[in-house]
């Protein structure tokens, strides 16, 4: 045994050190008492010898007691998960125990790291899945959720019960049937709140040999987009067939006339061909606008991320429509700040939006007047009664023409599909009635708003608002 400096005050009071010393010294005490009784040893010498034996035992036991005490503290710290260095002791017995503990500690640290790495790898794989996946225990509490599930249902799902996440009674009933082993799997369609998404759910128990608390997996499939596509296809067919019926009837009638009664009438042929060309152009514009409207509606849930220069786009639109404006002796004017911040928006849709509004302003404006495009920054977007708008600063783009006043009852209907003012129809101004419907869908996708004002003095002004950042 190596001798070293020992601090007796380091020994804990509850270590039973004194009791061990006394027990170890008890045989020597008995021997000394017997020797003193029979006169072989003087009482004083017996007491002195016993004191030396006690001191020797204290010195002998102290190193082992201290190191075992330190070892106990070390193991307690490891149990609490504290990050500490390996413990090095000098006593052979304690050293052996410490080495065994250190070896076990290293093993479990490596095992824990491997399990954590495997768990992170599994979580990463689940997060790459496009559809939401939830793992639940026997009580219906969520044990894990992938990225798609967290986006659909919220970030903090773990340990929440499905009854607190889903409001569909049919879904909760189906899940309970699986958890109670009344069914191995359940399939159903339900709707979430408040956004009314159409969801297909597949609930299935895990195999009997699976380990852990999870007993079932819930797979969710968002059918909202598929349902929207089906509706768009249905609407497109219905709208196209309805609006194309009239021009097709006109063309068919003229063709029949040209084949029969007006077969040799040169004047009628020229007149009819002109009308047919006009109707064909209308059908082409109608199909193009319907396709554009369907495409924009399909992108409603995709938030734009590009940085767009509205001032530059406005200049491009003016260049493109300059000849049309000149044909009606209309002057195009652009007013904007010298420095204009870019906005987060779809550049193609912004150009389509401004072009639709400026084209309408030229078409319905008074000949010889001007069309003014005004761009400025505003602190907030005016609220809408029918859809949510973004908060914060925005860019306001106004397009004003000097056309006749639009009555208040007609202003609210301007963005309806195929709606056209009767006076424009009477004047023979051609149009599909879809331009402002397209404009509205573009603005809604960007979480903006559209306002319209009209008076005899100032003409009609369309103003759309697009947030700098959605």
pLDDT in tens, the chain (470 residues): 343 444 444 565 555 667 777 777 788 778 878 877 877 778 888 788 778 887 877 777 677 777 777 777 777 776 776 666 655 566 566 667 767 777 776 777 777 766 666 666 656 667 777 788 888 998 889 888 888 888 878 888 888 898 888 888 899 999 999 998 888 899 998 887 666 778 899 999 888 766 667 889 999 888 877 777 777 667 667 767 776 777 788 788 888 888 888 777 888 888 888 888 878 887 887 778 777 877 787 777 788 888 999 999 999 999 999 999 999 999 999 999 988 899 999 999 999 999 999 998 998 888 889 999 999 999 999 998 888 888 899 999 999 998 888 888 888 788 887 777 767 666 666 666 788 888 999 999 999 999 999 988 889 999 999 999 87
Looking only at the bridges linking them, the beta strands covering 370-378 and 331-335 are: parallel
Domain range 223-298, CATH class: mainly alpha
Specify the 3-state DSSP secondary structure of 214: coil
Distance, first Cα to last Cα, the chain:
76
Q: Which of 281, 244, 466 is nearest to 376 (CA)?
A: 466
Contact 216, 136 (CB under 8 A): yes
Alpha-carbon span 134 to 197, nearest angstrom: 17
**Per-residue burial over 398-430, b = 16 or more CB atoms within 10 Å of its CB, e = otherwise:** bbbbbbbebeeebeeebbebeebbeebeeeeee
Where do you find CATH 3.30.450.20 in the chain? 129-222
Contact 315, 354 (CB under 8 A): no
User: What pTM did the predictor assign?
Assistant: 0.51
Give me the architecture of the 305-470 domain, per CATH.
2-Layer Sandwich (3.30)
Where do you find CATH 1.10.287.130 in the chain? 223-298
DSSP class of residue 37 equals H
Give me the architecture of the 129-222 domain, per CATH.
2-Layer Sandwich (3.30)
Alpha-carbon span 447 to 164, nearest angstrom: 30
Strand order in 449-455's β-sheet?
331-335, 370-378, 394-401, 459-467, 449-455
Contact 433, 418 (CB under 8 A): yes
Where do you find CATH 3.30.565.10 in the chain? 305-470
Q: What does each C-alpha distance from 137 to 149, 154, 194 come to in angstroms?
A: 17, 19, 26
Contact 452, 401 (CB under 8 A): no
For residue 410 the two structure tokens come to 């007609």
Q: Hey, which bits of 117-183 come out as E strands? A: 133-136, 142-145
Alpha-carbon span 308 to 348, nearest angstrom: 9
């Amino acid at each position: 045994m190596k001798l070293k400096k020992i601090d007796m005050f380091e020994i804990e009071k509850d270590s039973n050190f004194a009791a061990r010393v006394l027990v170890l010294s008890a045989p020597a005490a008995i021997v000394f008492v017997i020797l003193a009784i029979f006169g072989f040893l003087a009482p004083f010498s017996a007491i002195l010898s016993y004191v030396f034996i006690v001191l020797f035992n204290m010195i002998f036991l102290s190193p082992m007691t201290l190191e075992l005490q330190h070892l106990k503290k070390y193991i307690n710290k490891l149990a609490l998960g504290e990050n500490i260095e390996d413990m090095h002791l000098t006593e052979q017995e304690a050293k052996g125990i410490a080495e065994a503990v250190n070896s076990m500690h290293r093993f479990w640290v490596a095992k824990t790291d491997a399990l954590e790495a495997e768990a992170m790898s599994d979580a990463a794989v689940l997060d790459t899945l496009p559809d939401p996946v939830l793992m639940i225990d026997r009580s219906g509490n969520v044990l894990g959720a992938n990225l798609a599930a967290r986006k659909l249902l919220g970030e903090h799902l773990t340990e929440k019960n499905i009854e607190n996440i889903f409001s569909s009674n049919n879904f909760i009933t189906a899940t309970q049937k699986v958890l109670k082993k009344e069914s191995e799997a359940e399939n159903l369609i339900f709707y979430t709140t408040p956004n009314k998404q159409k969801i297909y759910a597949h609930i299935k128990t895990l195999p009997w040999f699976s380990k852990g608390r999870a007993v079932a997996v819930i797979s969710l499939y968002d059918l909202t987009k598929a349902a929207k596509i089906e509706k768009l296809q249905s609407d497109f067919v219905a709208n196209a067939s309805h609006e194309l019926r009239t021009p097709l009837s006109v063309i068919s009638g003229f063709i029949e006339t040209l084949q029969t009664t007006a077969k040799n009438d040169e004047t009628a042929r020229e007149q009819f061909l002109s009308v047919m060309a006009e109707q064909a152009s209308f059908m082409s514009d109608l199909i193009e606008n319907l396709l554009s409207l369907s495409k924009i509606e399909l992108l409603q849930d995709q938030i734009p991320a590009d940085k767009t220069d509205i001032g530059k786009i406005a200049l491009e639109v003016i260049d493109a429509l300059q000849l049309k404006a000149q044909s009606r002796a209309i002057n195009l004017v652009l007013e904007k700040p010298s420095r204009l911040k870019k906005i987060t928006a779809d550049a193609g849709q912004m150009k389509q939006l401004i072009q639709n509004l400026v084209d309408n302003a030229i078409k319905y404006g008074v000949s010889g007047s001007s069309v003014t495009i005004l761009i400025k920054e505003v602190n907030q977007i005016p609220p809408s009664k029918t859809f949510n708008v973004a908060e914060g600063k925005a860019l306001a783009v106004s397009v004003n023409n000097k056309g006749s006043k639009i009555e208040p009852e007609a202003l609210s209907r301007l963005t309806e599909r195929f709606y056209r003012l009767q006076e424009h129809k009477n004047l023979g101004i051609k149009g599909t009635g879809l331009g402002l419907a397209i404009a509205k869908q573009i603005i809604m996708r960007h979480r903006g708003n559209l306002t319209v004002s009209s008076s005899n003095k100032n003409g009609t002004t369309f103003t759309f608002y697009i947030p700098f950042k959605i």
